Structure 1
Amino acid sequence: MEEDIDTPEELLAKQHRREKKDLQAKIQGMKNAVPKNDKKRRKQLTEDISKLEAELTKKQEEEVLQLRPTGDTQEAVNGVACLAVDDDQEKADERQPRVTKAQKRRDKKAAQEKERESRIAEAEVDNLQGVRHQEGLKLTQKLSQRQLQIKEIASDGHCMYRAVEDQLARRASVRLILSLKALRSRTAEHMRGHADDFLPFLTHPNTGDMYSTEDFEKYCNEVDHTAAWGGQLELRALTEVLKLPIEVIQADASDIKIGEEYDSAPITLVYMRHAYGLGEHYNSVERLKEPANEEDS
Protein backbone atom coordinates (compact mmCIF):
# COMPACT_ATOMS: atom_id res chain seq x y z
CA MET A 1 0.00 0.00 0.00
CA GLU A 2 1.29 3.39 -0.93
CA GLU A 3 1.99 5.57 2.12
CA ASP A 4 0.23 8.94 2.31
CA ILE A 5 2.61 11.91 2.34
CA ASP A 6 1.60 15.13 4.07
CA THR A 7 1.46 18.24 1.92
CA PRO A 8 3.49 21.29 2.97
CA GLU A 9 0.24 22.90 4.15
CA GLU A 10 -0.57 19.89 6.36
CA LEU A 11 2.94 19.79 7.81
CA LEU A 12 2.76 23.50 8.62
CA ALA A 13 -0.65 23.07 10.26
CA LYS A 14 0.72 20.28 12.48
CA GLN A 15 3.71 22.45 13.43
CA HIS A 16 1.42 25.33 14.35
CA ARG A 17 -0.74 23.08 16.54
CA ARG A 18 2.39 21.89 18.39
CA GLU A 19 3.59 25.46 18.89
CA LYS A 20 0.23 26.54 20.30
CA LYS A 21 0.19 23.53 22.63
CA ASP A 22 3.73 24.31 23.82
CA LEU A 23 2.80 27.97 24.39
CA GLN A 24 -0.22 26.98 26.47
CA ALA A 25 2.00 24.77 28.62
CA LYS A 26 4.46 27.65 29.07
CA ILE A 27 1.64 30.04 29.98
CA GLN A 28 0.31 27.58 32.56
CA GLY A 29 3.76 27.38 34.12
CA MET A 30 3.95 31.18 34.25
CA LYS A 31 0.55 31.32 35.96
CA ASN A 32 1.56 28.72 38.53
CA ALA A 33 4.68 30.73 39.39
CA VAL A 34 2.74 33.85 40.41
CA PRO A 35 0.71 33.84 43.65
CA LYS A 36 -2.99 34.42 43.07
CA ASN A 37 -3.13 37.11 45.75
CA ASP A 38 -0.35 39.17 44.13
CA LYS A 39 -2.62 41.40 42.03
CA LYS A 40 0.14 43.58 40.62
CA ARG A 41 2.21 40.64 39.36
CA ARG A 42 -0.94 38.91 38.05
CA LYS A 43 -1.71 42.05 36.04
CA GLN A 44 1.80 42.08 34.61
CA LEU A 45 1.48 38.35 33.89
CA THR A 46 -1.65 38.98 31.83
CA GLU A 47 0.23 41.55 29.74
CA ASP A 48 3.17 39.19 29.22
CA ILE A 49 0.86 36.36 28.12
CA SER A 50 -0.86 38.64 25.59
CA LYS A 51 2.54 39.56 24.16
CA LEU A 52 3.57 35.92 23.77
CA GLU A 53 0.29 35.01 22.07
CA ALA A 54 0.50 37.99 19.70
CA GLU A 55 4.08 37.13 18.81
CA LEU A 56 3.20 33.51 17.98
CA THR A 57 0.17 34.56 15.94
CA LYS A 58 2.28 36.96 13.88
CA LYS A 59 4.96 34.31 13.29
CA GLN A 60 2.46 31.70 12.13
CA GLU A 61 0.67 34.12 9.83
CA GLU A 62 3.96 35.03 8.17
CA GLU A 63 4.77 31.34 7.67
CA VAL A 64 1.41 30.80 5.98
CA LEU A 65 2.07 33.76 3.67
CA GLN A 66 5.49 32.37 2.76
CA LEU A 67 4.02 28.97 1.97
CA ARG A 68 1.25 30.39 -0.24
CA PRO A 69 2.70 33.54 -1.83
CA THR A 70 0.11 33.53 -4.63
CA GLY A 71 -2.92 32.87 -2.45
CA ASP A 72 -5.87 35.09 -1.59
CA THR A 73 -4.11 36.63 1.43
CA GLN A 74 -1.15 37.68 -0.70
CA GLU A 75 -3.51 39.32 -3.18
CA ALA A 76 -5.06 41.28 -0.34
CA VAL A 77 -1.65 42.50 0.80
CA ASN A 78 -0.52 43.51 -2.70
CA GLY A 79 -3.83 45.25 -3.45
CA VAL A 80 -5.30 45.91 -6.86
CA ALA A 81 -1.85 45.74 -8.50
CA CYS A 82 -2.26 41.95 -8.69
CA LEU A 83 -5.41 42.42 -10.73
CA ALA A 84 -3.70 44.66 -13.28
CA VAL A 85 -1.15 42.07 -14.44
CA ASP A 86 -3.31 40.55 -17.14
CA ASP A 87 -5.40 42.68 -19.52
CA ASP A 88 -7.72 39.78 -20.22
CA GLN A 89 -8.35 39.41 -16.47
CA GLU A 90 -9.20 43.10 -16.27
CA LYS A 91 -11.73 42.69 -19.05
CA ALA A 92 -13.21 39.69 -17.28
CA ASP A 93 -13.51 41.75 -14.14
CA GLU A 94 -15.28 44.50 -16.05
CA ARG A 95 -17.84 41.99 -17.34
CA GLN A 96 -18.68 41.17 -13.69
CA PRO A 97 -18.42 44.59 -11.99
CA ARG A 98 -20.61 43.85 -8.99
CA VAL A 99 -18.80 40.66 -7.91
CA THR A 100 -15.34 42.06 -8.53
CA LYS A 101 -15.93 45.30 -6.63
CA ALA A 102 -17.44 43.47 -3.68
CA GLN A 103 -14.47 41.10 -3.61
CA LYS A 104 -12.05 43.98 -3.81
CA ARG A 105 -13.73 45.67 -0.87
CA ARG A 106 -13.53 42.47 1.16
CA ASP A 107 -9.89 41.97 0.23
CA LYS A 108 -9.04 45.56 1.05
CA LYS A 109 -10.78 45.35 4.42
CA ALA A 110 -9.02 42.06 5.22
CA ALA A 111 -5.64 43.53 4.26
CA GLN A 112 -6.21 46.61 6.43
CA GLU A 113 -7.23 44.45 9.40
CA LYS A 114 -4.18 42.21 8.97
CA GLU A 115 -1.90 45.23 8.77
CA ARG A 116 -3.46 46.64 11.93
CA GLU A 117 -2.94 43.34 13.80
CA SER A 118 0.64 43.19 12.53
CA ARG A 119 1.36 46.69 13.87
CA ILE A 120 -0.12 45.73 17.24
CA ALA A 121 2.00 42.56 17.38
CA GLU A 122 5.15 44.51 16.45
CA ALA A 123 4.41 47.08 19.16
CA GLU A 124 4.04 44.29 21.71
CA VAL A 125 7.37 42.77 20.66
CA ASP A 126 9.02 46.20 20.84
CA ASN A 127 7.70 46.52 24.39
CA LEU A 128 9.52 43.31 25.29
CA GLN A 129 12.68 45.10 24.23
CA GLY A 130 11.88 47.95 26.65
CA VAL A 131 13.69 48.99 29.79
CA ARG A 132 12.27 46.24 32.02
CA HIS A 133 13.29 43.49 29.61
CA GLN A 134 16.73 44.99 28.98
CA GLU A 135 17.34 45.39 32.71
CA GLY A 136 16.59 41.72 33.24
CA LEU A 137 19.00 40.67 30.49
CA LYS A 138 21.83 42.79 31.91
CA LEU A 139 21.30 41.45 35.43
CA THR A 140 21.21 37.86 34.17
CA GLN A 141 24.54 38.40 32.41
CA LYS A 142 26.12 40.04 35.45
CA LEU A 143 24.98 37.32 37.81
CA SER A 144 25.88 34.41 35.53
CA GLN A 145 29.51 35.58 35.55
CA ARG A 146 29.44 34.88 39.29
CA GLN A 147 27.50 31.62 38.89
CA LEU A 148 24.42 33.25 40.40
CA GLN A 149 20.84 33.83 39.35
CA ILE A 150 17.91 35.90 40.63
CA LYS A 151 15.76 34.44 43.42
CA GLU A 152 12.36 36.09 43.02
CA ILE A 153 10.98 37.91 46.07
CA ALA A 154 7.35 38.96 46.46
CA SER A 155 6.66 42.61 45.61
CA ASP A 156 4.65 43.45 48.73
CA GLY A 157 6.59 46.38 50.21
CA HIS A 158 8.72 44.03 52.34
CA CYS A 159 10.92 42.96 49.40
CA MET A 160 14.22 44.30 50.76
CA TYR A 161 13.73 42.68 54.16
CA ARG A 162 12.49 39.44 52.60
CA ALA A 163 15.56 39.35 50.36
CA VAL A 164 17.83 39.80 53.39
CA GLU A 165 15.84 37.14 55.25
CA ASP A 166 16.34 34.74 52.32
CA GLN A 167 20.08 35.44 52.23
CA LEU A 168 20.46 34.81 55.96
CA ALA A 169 18.59 31.51 55.65
CA ARG A 170 21.21 30.35 53.12
CA ARG A 171 24.01 30.74 55.66
CA ALA A 172 25.23 28.00 57.96
CA SER A 173 25.12 30.12 61.11
CA VAL A 174 21.70 29.66 62.68
CA ARG A 175 22.17 32.65 64.98
CA LEU A 176 21.93 34.99 62.00
CA ILE A 177 18.53 33.74 60.85
CA LEU A 178 15.97 36.44 61.59
CA SER A 179 12.35 36.70 60.54
CA LEU A 180 10.96 39.54 58.48
CA LYS A 181 9.31 41.01 61.57
CA ALA A 182 12.55 40.81 63.57
CA LEU A 183 14.55 42.42 60.77
CA ARG A 184 12.14 45.35 60.59
CA SER A 185 12.00 45.74 64.36
CA ARG A 186 15.76 45.67 64.84
CA THR A 187 16.31 48.06 61.93
CA ALA A 188 13.89 50.59 63.45
CA GLU A 189 15.40 50.13 66.91
CA HIS A 190 18.92 50.74 65.59
CA MET A 191 17.87 53.86 63.70
CA ARG A 192 16.15 55.29 66.78
CA GLY A 193 19.25 54.63 68.86
CA HIS A 194 21.56 56.28 66.30
CA ALA A 195 19.37 59.17 65.14
CA ASP A 196 22.36 61.41 64.42
CA ASP A 197 23.54 58.94 61.77
CA PHE A 198 20.21 58.78 59.94
CA LEU A 199 18.06 61.87 60.63
CA PRO A 200 20.25 64.31 58.57
CA PHE A 201 19.58 62.25 55.43
CA LEU A 202 15.78 62.40 55.63
CA THR A 203 13.82 65.25 53.99
CA HIS A 204 10.21 65.78 53.01
CA PRO A 205 9.83 64.89 49.30
CA ASN A 206 7.43 67.76 48.55
CA THR A 207 9.14 70.61 50.40
CA GLY A 208 12.74 69.45 50.84
CA ASP A 209 12.58 70.41 54.54
CA MET A 210 14.61 68.35 57.01
CA TYR A 211 12.77 65.84 59.17
CA SER A 212 11.95 66.94 62.70
CA THR A 213 12.41 64.61 65.67
CA GLU A 214 8.70 63.80 65.50
CA ASP A 215 8.93 63.09 61.76
CA PHE A 216 11.85 60.77 62.38
CA GLU A 217 9.99 58.84 65.09
CA LYS A 218 7.03 58.41 62.74
CA TYR A 219 9.42 57.20 60.03
CA CYS A 220 10.93 54.59 62.38
CA ASN A 221 7.47 53.43 63.43
CA GLU A 222 6.61 52.85 59.77
CA VAL A 223 9.81 50.85 59.31
CA ASP A 224 8.83 48.77 62.34
CA HIS A 225 5.10 48.23 61.84
CA THR A 226 4.15 48.75 58.18
CA ALA A 227 5.12 47.53 54.71
CA ALA A 228 7.07 50.72 54.06
CA TRP A 229 9.62 50.17 51.29
CA GLY A 230 13.23 49.92 52.50
CA GLY A 231 16.17 51.75 50.92
CA GLN A 232 19.82 52.59 51.44
CA LEU A 233 19.37 54.02 54.96
CA GLU A 234 17.71 50.82 56.11
CA LEU A 235 20.44 48.75 54.46
CA ARG A 236 23.05 50.73 56.38
CA ALA A 237 21.18 50.05 59.61
CA LEU A 238 20.93 46.34 58.75
CA THR A 239 24.69 46.00 58.16
CA GLU A 240 25.27 47.37 61.67
CA VAL A 241 22.57 45.18 63.19
CA LEU A 242 23.86 42.01 61.51
CA LYS A 243 27.57 42.94 61.55
CA LEU A 244 27.68 41.85 57.91
CA PRO A 245 28.43 43.69 54.65
CA ILE A 246 25.63 43.98 52.10
CA GLU A 247 26.27 44.26 48.37
CA VAL A 248 23.64 45.45 45.93
CA ILE A 249 23.91 44.44 42.26
CA GLN A 250 22.39 46.80 39.66
CA ALA A 251 21.95 46.56 35.90
CA ASP A 252 23.09 50.01 34.77
CA ALA A 253 25.32 51.15 37.61
CA SER A 254 28.27 49.94 39.64
CA ASP A 255 27.51 47.50 42.42
CA ILE A 256 27.11 49.07 45.87
CA LYS A 257 28.77 47.61 48.96
CA ILE A 258 27.66 48.78 52.40
CA GLY A 259 29.40 47.82 55.64
CA GLU A 260 32.80 47.05 54.16
CA GLU A 261 34.25 47.40 57.66
CA TYR A 262 32.84 43.95 58.46
CA ASP A 263 35.15 41.14 57.35
CA SER A 264 32.61 38.52 56.28
CA ALA A 265 31.03 37.18 53.11
CA PRO A 266 28.45 39.78 52.09
CA ILE A 267 24.71 39.44 51.80
CA THR A 268 23.93 39.85 48.09
CA LEU A 269 20.80 41.60 46.84
CA VAL A 270 19.63 42.58 43.36
CA TYR A 271 18.16 46.06 42.90
CA MET A 272 15.74 46.48 39.99
CA ARG A 273 14.41 49.84 38.85
CA HIS A 274 11.77 48.50 36.46
CA ALA A 275 10.60 45.22 37.99
CA TYR A 276 7.01 44.02 37.37
CA GLY A 277 6.03 47.45 36.08
CA LEU A 278 6.01 48.61 39.72
CA GLY A 279 9.29 50.48 39.71
CA GLU A 280 11.96 49.80 42.35
CA HIS A 281 12.25 46.31 43.79
CA TYR A 282 14.77 44.05 45.58
CA ASN A 283 15.37 40.37 44.85
CA SER A 284 17.67 37.81 46.44
CA VAL A 285 20.16 35.58 44.60
CA GLU A 286 20.90 31.86 44.55
CA ARG A 287 23.45 29.57 42.93
CA LEU A 288 23.04 29.27 39.16
CA LYS A 289 21.11 26.12 38.31
CA GLU A 290 22.13 23.84 35.49
CA PRO A 291 19.78 24.15 32.49
CA ALA A 292 17.24 21.35 32.28
CA ASN A 293 18.14 18.49 29.95
CA GLU A 294 15.81 18.60 26.95
CA GLU A 295 15.49 14.80 26.99
CA ASP A 296 14.18 14.97 30.56
CA SER A 297 11.68 17.74 29.89
Structure 2
Amino acid sequence: MDEEEGGSEEAALLRQHRKEKKDVQAKIQCMKNAVPKNDKKRRKQLTEDIAKLEAELDEKHKQELATLVQKESTQTEIKSVTNGVTGLDLGADVPAQQPRVSKAQKETEKKAALEKERDERIAEAEIENLSGARHLESQKLAQILSERQQQIKHIPSDGHCMYRAIEHQLKERAVNLTLSNLRHQTADYMQSHADDFLPFLTNSATGDLYTPDEFEKYCSEIANTPAWGGQLELRALSHILKTRIEVIQADSSPIFIGEEYMGTPITVVYMRHAYGLGEHYNSIEPLSATPTE
Protein backbone atom coordinates (compact mmCIF):
# COMPACT_ATOMS: atom_id res chain seq x y z
CA MET A 1 0.00 0.00 0.00
CA ASP A 2 1.57 3.33 -1.05
CA GLU A 3 1.22 6.57 0.92
CA GLU A 4 -1.64 7.86 -1.24
CA GLU A 5 -3.64 4.68 -0.73
CA GLY A 6 -3.01 4.81 3.04
CA GLY A 7 -4.17 8.43 3.24
CA SER A 8 -7.28 7.63 1.24
CA GLU A 9 -8.17 4.70 3.48
CA GLU A 10 -7.66 6.79 6.62
CA ALA A 11 -9.78 9.63 5.22
CA ALA A 12 -12.57 7.18 4.38
CA LEU A 13 -12.48 5.77 7.90
CA LEU A 14 -12.63 9.26 9.42
CA ARG A 15 -15.63 10.12 7.21
CA GLN A 16 -17.34 6.95 8.41
CA HIS A 17 -16.60 7.90 12.03
CA ARG A 18 -18.06 11.36 11.55
CA LYS A 19 -21.24 9.88 10.07
CA GLU A 20 -21.56 7.39 12.95
CA LYS A 21 -21.09 10.18 15.52
CA LYS A 22 -23.75 12.26 13.75
CA ASP A 23 -26.15 9.29 13.78
CA VAL A 24 -25.53 8.67 17.48
CA GLN A 25 -26.09 12.34 18.31
CA ALA A 26 -29.43 12.22 16.47
CA LYS A 27 -30.37 9.11 18.42
CA ILE A 28 -29.35 10.82 21.70
CA GLN A 29 -31.51 13.85 20.87
CA CYS A 30 -34.52 11.58 20.29
CA MET A 31 -33.81 9.87 23.63
CA LYS A 32 -33.68 13.26 25.39
CA ASN A 33 -36.93 14.43 23.81
CA ALA A 34 -38.67 11.24 24.96
CA VAL A 35 -37.94 11.84 28.67
CA PRO A 36 -39.68 14.71 30.56
CA LYS A 37 -37.23 17.18 32.10
CA ASN A 38 -38.86 16.89 35.51
CA ASP A 39 -38.60 13.07 35.62
CA LYS A 40 -35.36 12.97 37.57
CA LYS A 41 -35.15 9.18 37.85
CA ARG A 42 -35.49 8.65 34.10
CA ARG A 43 -33.20 11.64 33.33
CA LYS A 44 -30.50 10.07 35.50
CA GLN A 45 -30.86 6.74 33.67
CA LEU A 46 -30.85 8.67 30.37
CA THR A 47 -27.52 10.30 31.29
CA GLU A 48 -26.02 6.89 31.99
CA ASP A 49 -27.36 5.43 28.74
CA ILE A 50 -25.99 8.36 26.72
CA ALA A 51 -22.57 8.07 28.37
CA LYS A 52 -22.53 4.34 27.58
CA LEU A 53 -23.49 4.94 23.93
CA GLU A 54 -20.78 7.56 23.49
CA ALA A 55 -18.15 5.46 25.26
CA GLU A 56 -18.92 2.40 23.13
CA LEU A 57 -18.71 4.43 19.93
CA ASP A 58 -15.42 6.06 20.98
CA GLU A 59 -13.94 2.67 21.86
CA LYS A 60 -15.06 1.26 18.49
CA HIS A 61 -13.48 4.19 16.64
CA LYS A 62 -10.28 3.91 18.64
CA GLN A 63 -9.93 0.21 17.83
CA GLU A 64 -10.63 0.75 14.13
CA LEU A 65 -8.01 3.51 13.93
CA ALA A 66 -5.51 1.36 15.79
CA THR A 67 -6.15 -1.52 13.36
CA LEU A 68 -5.65 0.77 10.37
CA VAL A 69 -2.43 2.21 11.82
CA GLN A 70 -1.08 -1.29 12.47
CA LYS A 71 -1.97 -2.34 8.95
CA GLU A 72 -0.24 0.70 7.46
CA SER A 73 2.81 0.12 9.66
CA THR A 74 3.09 -3.52 8.57
CA GLN A 75 2.79 -2.58 4.90
CA THR A 76 5.43 0.11 5.33
CA GLU A 77 7.84 -2.33 6.97
CA ILE A 78 7.35 -4.89 4.18
CA LYS A 79 7.95 -2.25 1.51
CA SER A 80 11.07 -1.00 3.27
CA VAL A 81 12.55 -4.49 3.55
CA THR A 82 11.72 -5.33 -0.08
CA ASN A 83 13.25 -2.14 -1.47
CA GLY A 84 16.42 -2.35 0.58
CA VAL A 85 17.23 -6.04 0.54
CA THR A 86 19.63 -5.91 -2.44
CA GLY A 87 21.75 -3.20 -0.88
CA LEU A 88 21.59 -4.46 2.68
CA ASP A 89 24.89 -4.33 4.54
CA LEU A 90 24.78 -7.47 6.67
CA GLY A 91 27.50 -6.11 8.89
CA ALA A 92 25.60 -2.97 9.84
CA ASP A 93 23.09 -2.59 12.63
CA VAL A 94 19.59 -2.11 11.24
CA PRO A 95 17.49 0.17 13.49
CA ALA A 96 14.00 -1.10 14.31
CA GLN A 97 11.29 0.92 12.58
CA GLN A 98 8.81 2.46 14.99
CA PRO A 99 5.10 2.10 14.10
CA ARG A 100 3.74 5.37 12.71
CA VAL A 101 1.07 6.98 14.88
CA SER A 102 -1.41 8.87 12.73
CA LYS A 103 -2.69 12.32 13.54
CA ALA A 104 -6.21 10.88 13.79
CA GLN A 105 -5.15 8.35 16.42
CA LYS A 106 -3.38 11.06 18.42
CA GLU A 107 -6.54 13.17 18.34
CA THR A 108 -8.66 10.18 19.37
CA GLU A 109 -6.37 9.36 22.29
CA LYS A 110 -6.36 13.01 23.37
CA LYS A 111 -10.17 13.11 23.24
CA ALA A 112 -10.42 9.88 25.23
CA ALA A 113 -8.12 11.31 27.92
CA LEU A 114 -10.20 14.50 28.14
CA GLU A 115 -13.45 12.52 28.40
CA LYS A 116 -11.97 10.35 31.14
CA GLU A 117 -10.99 13.49 33.04
CA ARG A 118 -14.51 14.90 32.54
CA ASP A 119 -16.12 11.71 33.84
CA GLU A 120 -13.88 11.81 36.90
CA ARG A 121 -14.90 15.43 37.60
CA ILE A 122 -18.60 14.50 37.25
CA ALA A 123 -18.16 11.62 39.69
CA GLU A 124 -16.40 13.92 42.16
CA ALA A 125 -19.21 16.49 41.83
CA GLU A 126 -21.84 13.83 42.51
CA ILE A 127 -20.00 12.72 45.63
CA GLU A 128 -19.63 16.33 46.77
CA ASN A 129 -23.34 16.95 46.16
CA LEU A 130 -24.25 14.22 48.65
CA SER A 131 -22.94 16.52 51.36
CA GLY A 132 -23.83 19.73 49.51
CA ALA A 133 -26.47 22.35 50.27
CA ARG A 134 -29.05 21.02 47.80
CA HIS A 135 -28.94 17.47 49.18
CA LEU A 136 -29.07 18.63 52.80
CA GLU A 137 -31.99 20.96 52.06
CA SER A 138 -33.92 18.12 50.35
CA GLN A 139 -33.31 15.83 53.33
CA LYS A 140 -34.58 18.42 55.82
CA LEU A 141 -37.69 19.16 53.76
CA ALA A 142 -38.43 15.45 53.34
CA GLN A 143 -38.26 15.03 57.12
CA ILE A 144 -40.49 18.06 57.79
CA LEU A 145 -43.10 16.87 55.31
CA SER A 146 -43.02 13.21 56.34
CA GLU A 147 -44.03 14.25 59.87
CA ARG A 148 -47.12 15.77 58.25
CA GLN A 149 -47.69 12.67 56.09
CA GLN A 150 -46.80 14.71 53.02
CA GLN A 151 -44.10 14.81 50.37
CA ILE A 152 -42.86 17.21 47.71
CA LYS A 153 -44.76 17.40 44.44
CA HIS A 154 -42.08 18.45 41.99
CA ILE A 155 -42.79 21.44 39.75
CA PRO A 156 -40.77 22.21 36.59
CA SER A 157 -38.13 24.91 36.92
CA ASP A 158 -39.29 27.13 34.06
CA GLY A 159 -39.93 30.52 35.67
CA HIS A 160 -43.57 29.61 36.36
CA CYS A 161 -42.83 27.36 39.36
CA MET A 162 -44.56 29.46 42.05
CA TYR A 163 -47.72 29.87 39.99
CA ARG A 164 -47.71 26.19 38.97
CA ALA A 165 -47.39 25.17 42.64
CA ILE A 166 -50.43 27.33 43.49
CA GLU A 167 -52.27 25.93 40.46
CA HIS A 168 -51.60 22.37 41.66
CA GLN A 169 -52.85 23.17 45.16
CA LEU A 170 -56.04 24.71 43.78
CA LYS A 171 -56.74 21.68 41.58
CA GLU A 172 -56.56 19.53 44.71
CA ARG A 173 -59.46 21.67 45.95
CA ALA A 174 -61.33 21.39 42.62
CA VAL A 175 -60.61 25.05 41.81
CA ASN A 176 -59.67 25.33 38.15
CA LEU A 177 -57.58 28.46 37.81
CA THR A 178 -54.91 28.12 35.14
CA LEU A 179 -51.38 29.41 35.19
CA SER A 180 -52.38 32.22 32.83
CA ASN A 181 -55.36 33.15 35.04
CA LEU A 182 -53.16 33.33 38.12
CA ARG A 183 -50.52 35.47 36.42
CA HIS A 184 -52.99 37.96 34.95
CA GLN A 185 -54.99 38.27 38.17
CA THR A 186 -51.77 38.82 40.14
CA ALA A 187 -50.65 41.57 37.76
CA ASP A 188 -54.09 43.25 37.83
CA TYR A 189 -54.28 43.16 41.64
CA MET A 190 -50.79 44.63 42.08
CA GLN A 191 -51.50 47.39 39.57
CA SER A 192 -54.72 48.33 41.35
CA HIS A 193 -52.97 48.30 44.77
CA ALA A 194 -49.70 49.91 43.71
CA ASP A 195 -49.19 51.68 47.06
CA ASP A 196 -49.02 48.29 48.82
CA PHE A 197 -46.26 46.96 46.56
CA LEU A 198 -44.19 49.86 45.18
CA PRO A 199 -42.31 50.48 48.49
CA PHE A 200 -40.83 46.97 48.24
CA LEU A 201 -39.51 47.19 44.68
CA THR A 202 -36.15 48.77 43.86
CA ASN A 203 -34.08 49.13 40.72
CA SER A 204 -31.17 46.68 41.05
CA ALA A 205 -28.84 49.01 39.13
CA THR A 206 -29.51 52.25 41.04
CA GLY A 207 -31.02 51.08 44.33
CA ASP A 208 -33.86 53.58 43.87
CA LEU A 209 -37.53 52.71 44.31
CA TYR A 210 -39.36 51.74 41.14
CA THR A 211 -40.85 54.57 39.12
CA PRO A 212 -44.50 54.20 38.02
CA ASP A 213 -43.27 53.21 34.55
CA GLU A 214 -40.93 50.58 35.96
CA PHE A 215 -43.76 49.22 38.08
CA GLU A 216 -46.06 49.01 35.04
CA LYS A 217 -43.34 47.06 33.19
CA TYR A 218 -42.89 44.77 36.21
CA CYS A 219 -46.62 43.98 36.26
CA SER A 220 -46.67 43.43 32.50
CA GLU A 221 -43.87 40.87 32.84
CA ILE A 222 -45.83 39.06 35.57
CA ALA A 223 -48.77 38.68 33.19
CA ASN A 224 -46.97 37.96 29.93
CA THR A 225 -43.58 36.34 30.61
CA PRO A 226 -42.11 33.49 32.73
CA ALA A 227 -40.94 36.10 35.27
CA TRP A 228 -40.12 34.40 38.58
CA GLY A 229 -42.62 35.05 41.40
CA GLY A 230 -41.84 35.66 45.05
CA GLN A 231 -43.29 36.93 48.30
CA LEU A 232 -44.97 40.02 46.82
CA GLU A 233 -46.81 37.91 44.25
CA LEU A 234 -47.79 35.40 46.96
CA ARG A 235 -49.27 38.25 49.00
CA ALA A 236 -51.30 39.39 46.01
CA LEU A 237 -52.50 35.82 45.42
CA SER A 238 -53.56 35.40 49.05
CA HIS A 239 -55.87 38.42 48.63
CA ILE A 240 -57.14 37.26 45.25
CA LEU A 241 -57.93 33.77 46.57
CA LYS A 242 -59.04 34.99 50.03
CA THR A 243 -56.91 32.36 51.71
CA ARG A 244 -53.71 31.98 53.71
CA ILE A 245 -50.62 30.72 51.92
CA GLU A 246 -48.12 28.66 53.91
CA VAL A 247 -44.50 28.61 52.75
CA ILE A 248 -42.43 25.70 54.08
CA GLN A 249 -38.64 26.11 54.24
CA ALA A 250 -35.84 23.81 55.34
CA ASP A 251 -34.11 26.04 57.89
CA SER A 252 -36.94 28.00 59.50
CA SER A 253 -40.52 27.73 60.65
CA PRO A 254 -43.26 27.98 58.01
CA ILE A 255 -44.21 31.49 56.90
CA PHE A 256 -47.89 32.39 56.59
CA ILE A 257 -49.00 35.05 54.10
CA GLY A 258 -52.52 36.48 54.30
CA GLU A 259 -53.04 35.58 57.97
CA GLU A 260 -56.25 37.58 58.04
CA TYR A 261 -57.95 34.76 56.14
CA MET A 262 -59.28 31.66 57.85
CA GLY A 263 -59.48 28.04 56.73
CA THR A 264 -56.92 25.52 55.50
CA PRO A 265 -53.99 27.30 53.89
CA ILE A 266 -52.52 26.63 50.48
CA THR A 267 -49.05 25.18 51.03
CA VAL A 268 -45.97 25.57 48.84
CA VAL A 269 -42.35 24.55 49.45
CA TYR A 270 -39.60 27.13 49.01
CA MET A 271 -36.16 25.77 48.10
CA ARG A 272 -33.03 27.93 48.05
CA HIS A 273 -30.70 25.37 46.46
CA ALA A 274 -32.93 23.30 44.16
CA TYR A 275 -31.29 24.20 40.85
CA GLY A 276 -28.24 25.97 39.45
CA LEU A 277 -30.09 29.29 39.55
CA GLY A 278 -31.00 28.72 43.18
CA GLU A 279 -34.53 29.56 44.36
CA HIS A 280 -37.48 27.37 43.38
CA TYR A 281 -41.03 26.57 44.50
CA ASN A 282 -42.60 23.11 44.68
CA SER A 283 -46.06 21.95 45.76
CA ILE A 284 -46.95 19.14 48.18
CA GLU A 285 -49.01 15.96 48.00
CA PRO A 286 -49.95 13.13 50.39
CA LEU A 287 -47.09 10.86 51.37
CA SER A 288 -47.02 7.70 49.24
CA ALA A 289 -45.04 4.45 49.24
CA THR A 290 -43.22 5.69 46.12
CA PRO A 291 -41.71 9.13 46.80
CA THR A 292 -41.28 11.44 43.83
CA GLU A 293 -37.57 11.85 44.46
RMSD over equivalenced CA pairs, Å = 3.2
Check 1:121–1:185 CA distance in 2 against 1; reply closer, same or farther (3 A cut): closer
2:253 aligns to what SS in structure 1?
A: coil
Specify the alignment match of 2:153 in structure 1: 151
Q: Are residues 1:224 and 2:205 paired?
A: no
So what's the TM-score if we normalise by structure 1?
A: 0.58
* 1:26-175 map, 5 Å: 35=36, 45=43, 121=123, 124-171=126-173, 174=174
* 1:225-240 map, 5 Å: 225-240=224-239
CA contact (8 A) 1:148 1:286 kept: yes
Which blocks of at least 5 consecutive residues in structure 2 are unaligned? 1-31, 52-118
Aligned length: 194
Specify the alignment match of 2:97 in structure 1: none
CA contact (8 A) 1:132 1:277 kept: no
Q: How far, CA to CA, are the matches of 2:210 and 2:185 in structure 1?
A: 21
Specify the alignment match of 2:64 in structure 1: none
2:143 aligns to what SS in structure 1?
A: helix
CA contact (8 A) 1:191 1:220 kept: yes
Q: Which runs of at least 4 in structure 1 moved beyond 3 Å after TM superposition? A: 31-34, 45-50, 117-124
Q: Shift of residue 280 of structure 1?
A: 0.6
2:229 aligns to what SS in structure 1?
A: coil
Q: Deviations over 1:246-275 (max 9, x none)?
A: 000011122111011101100000001111
CA contact (8 A) 1:275 1:281 kept: yes
The one-letter code of the counterpart of 2:129 is N
Q: How far, CA to CA, are the matches of 1:228 and 1:158 in structure 2?
A: 7
Specify the alignment match of 1:179 in structure 2: 178
Q: Shift of residue 124 of structure 1?
A: 3.3
Which blocks of at least 5 consecutive residues in structure 1 are unaligned? 1-30, 54-116, 293-297
Check 1:118–1:147 CA distance in 2 against 1; reply closer, same or farther (3 A cut): same
Specify the alignment match of 1:289 in structure 2: 288
Q: Are residues 1:191 and 2:220 paired?
A: no
Share of identical aligned residues, percent?
62
2:273 aligns to what SS in structure 1?
A: strand
So what's the TM-score if we normalise by structure 2?
A: 0.59
CA contact (8 A) 1:150 1:270 kept: yes
Q: Which has the larger radius of gyration?
A: 2
CA contact (8 A) 1:250 1:271 kept: yes
Q: How far, CA to CA, are the matches of 1:251 and 1:48 in structure 2?
A: 30
Check 1:283–1:123 CA distance in 2 against 1; reply closer, same or farther (3 A cut): closer
